[in-house]
Amino acid sequence: MTNLERLVKAHTEAATLTTISSATERIAEEMARELLKDETFRAEMQALVRTHFTPTLRALAKNGGRRRKR
């Protein structure tokens, strides 16, 4: 492969990656907006987050005063 071919290949890959990444981000944002409009989904998501957040917060508070020894 020539230097020119490598350069064109690298540029094409970078441009494709940027385009796909941007499109994926826009799709994810749109899906999140649509899902959060659904009252049932939003309530279930809030309950799920609370279920996992509460024990994690308690564990952090419990261990917060203790410093880890290295």
pLDDT at 47: 93
Residue with tokens 């749109």: 30
Averaged pLDDT, groups of 10, the chain, 70 residues long: 95 94 94 92 91 88 68
Domain boundaries, the chain: 3-63
User: 64: helix, coil or strand?
Assistant: coil
pLDDT at 11: 96
pLDDT at 4: 96
| 21 vs 10: CA distance, rounded Å | 16
Cβ pair 35, 41 in contact under 8 A? yes
Candidates 24, 42, 43, 22; CA nearest to 33 is 42
pLDDT at 62: 87
Quick count: other Cβ atoms within 10 Å of Cβ 45?
13
